[in-house]
Structures are given as C-alpha cells and as structure tokens.
Amino acid sequence: RAQEHARAAIHGERPDSRVARRGGVGLLRSTVAPGSGAQLPEQQQRGGAPGAPVTDAHSPFSLEGQVALVTGGSQGIGLGIAESLGAAGARLLLVNRRKAKGEEAASALAARGITALPFAADVSRQAEAEAAVARALREWGRLDILVNNAAVLTRKLAQEMTEADLELELAINVKGVFFCAVAASRPMMSRRRGKIINLASVGALIGLPERAFYSATKAAVAQLTRSLALEWAPHGINVN
C-alpha cells in the first residue's frame, strides 16, 4: 500500500494535463504502461542495490532534486511512503508528534542513503503545520510533494466514544490535513506546480463497526480533496 501511495506522487500528471482539465479531480495517471512490470524501487530493475536513491533523472520513477513532506512519516504506512519517495531521489521532511521517533526513522533512512530530516509538530495546530512547511523551505528552498498521512483511529463502539475521542480524531484527521495542505499550497502556487496526496480510507466509502467517527473523518478528507483539487488546479497544484 505504501508503494501505491508513493506512486501517486511519482506518476501524477501536472494540473495542466487531461486530469486537471476535468477539474483536477481523479486518480493520477501512470506514465508506465499497465503490465510493464515496473515497480519501486527502480534500482531493482537495473540491478542496483535496493533502497539506494535513484540517480537517473530520466527515469519515470525519478524524484531527483524534489522535496517531499510526509506527515506521520516515522512509522507504518507513512514511513513506507517516505522510504519509497526517498528511494526515488526525493529529500524528505518527516513530520510527527514524537521527536525521538522521528529521529529514529530519519536515521534509518539515512543509513539507506536517503536524505531525511525529522520535524516534531502537531499538525492539528495551524502554526505548527506552517512551521513544518517553513522548515522544508529553509532547508531546501522548495516543496514539491505533501503527503498527508497522519491520522488517529480510536476503535470503540459508537456509544463508548467520548467527546475527547471525537475531538482528537477530528483535529488530526481533518484539521491537520487542511492546515498542512493550505500551508504547502502557498510555496507550490508561487512555483505553479506541486502535488498533494491525502490518505483517506475504505471507511470513507463503506460502514465500519467500531470506527464510525473515524470513517466520517476520512469521508471528510475525501470531499476536502475533491474541493481543493478544483480550487487549486488553475494554480498548478494536483490534489489527490
């Protein structure tokens, strides 16, 4: 799953493409023909060492010179996405709430030849989301890709959910996605290019027991993504 999400960043058309002309909404099209056998990391196709950064700028998988910010990038799916983007040559800012965990993930990626910096922030706070984007800009002077992966899931029956449970899921899963997207959109608009990938869930489409409110937040992410795609496509930003 992590590689599938990373491919969205790698294969997406720019918003002046056919997808954007339909309003910027929809899945990013692959530049590799179906059934071609292409996969990440690309070095495995060339016989290179797995995990080593891509250096071929003409490769359809190359993100050489680009900068990606991944929220919740220190573990799980987020770390897998970060690793795949880094293997394709992107420089990474890993954003999560736990400083030590972020430093550990960044060190592990660095050991594989991937440039990654940790940044501790609570994305549910607008100022901290903006600070994360500012950190990437100070370090590398650009931001090409935002992956909104950070999320909280509280598995309880609906009648057992507390107000605090609801507020936490709403803050991280919806407000955090919105704050990071808006913060990232500003430098992307100035360059008239950028890709924002928001992770939703199957819960946005079907009912899931013990995940009623979580599913509602992911449905909100899906609708937010559609709306931002329409709003920002004219500015060169692709939102999926």
Q: Cα separation of 68 and 26, whole Å? A: 21
Q: Cα separation of 139 and 132, whole Å? A: 11
Report the C-alpha dihedral over residues 98, 104, 107, 111, rounded to 10 degrees: -140
| CB neighbour burial string for 144-170, b if at least 16 within 10 angstroms, e if fewer | bbbbbbbbbbbeeeeeebeeeeeeebb
Residue in the structure block whose two tokens are 């050489």: 64
Residue 94 annotated among the catalytic residues of the structure:
no
| CB neighbour burial string for 34-69, b if at least 16 within 10 angstroms, e if fewer | eeeebebbbbeeeeeeebbbbeeeebebbbbebbbb
Of 184, 214, 218, 240, which is the active-site residue?
214
Decide: 140 and 91 in contact? Cβ < 8 Å: yes
Q: Which residues are catalytic?
A: 214
